[in-house]
Amino acid sequence: MYSKKVIEHFQNPRNAGALEDADAVGEVGNPVCGDVMNIYIKVEDGIIADIGWKTMGCAAAIATSSMITELAKGRTLKEALKITRKDVADALDGLPPIKMHCSNLAADGLHAAIDEYLKEHPDVEV
Ligand code: FES
């Protein structure tokens, strides 16, 4: 059911855990299954210098959380805002159709964190 990449990221999640010195946090959840994802970002000179996450959810939710950190780390805020749910799923070699809608929340979580950051730093332009 899951691709090898999903299983690999589930078993060896990248950048797991909250960032103590995060500049912003984005929280998204799926009311249907109850999974919740928090994405933490540290921003330096308009670049996502560090990123972490805490997710209570299924294997796919863990894998998408892990993958979004690999896609976003080192990117500018502008580039990170362009990362889509499809990019995350593609980078994981796909997700089972039922999980596409349910668990593919990581891009939304990242965008929520960036929105939060921009709200608190109105001087930053993207
Ligand atoms: Fe819904 Fe995992 S079961 S996000």
pTM score of the predicted model: 0.95
Q: Render each residue's pLDDT in the chain as its tens digit; 126 residues.
A: 899 999 999 999 999 999 999 999 999 998 889 999 999 999 999 999 999 999 999 999 999 999 999 999 999 999 999 999 999 999 999 999 988 888 889 999 999 999 999 999 999 988
Identify the CATH number of the domain defined by range 4-119: 3.90.1010.10
Among residues 14, 13, 9, 40, which one has the least CA distance to residue 27? Answer: 40
CA–CA separation, 108 and 53 (whole Å): 13
Percent of the chain with pLDDT over 70: 100
Pocket lining: 60 vs ligand 1, CB cutoff 6 Å: yes
5 exposed, middle or buried (CB, 10 Å; 0-12, 13-18, 19+)?
A: middle
Q: Which atom of ligand 1 is nearest to the CA of 58?
A: 2
Residue 58 is among the residues annotated as catalytic for this protein: no
Helix, strand or coil, per DSSP, at residue 86: helix
Pocket lining: 59 vs ligand 1, CB cutoff 6 Å: no
Percent of the chain with pLDDT over 90: 89
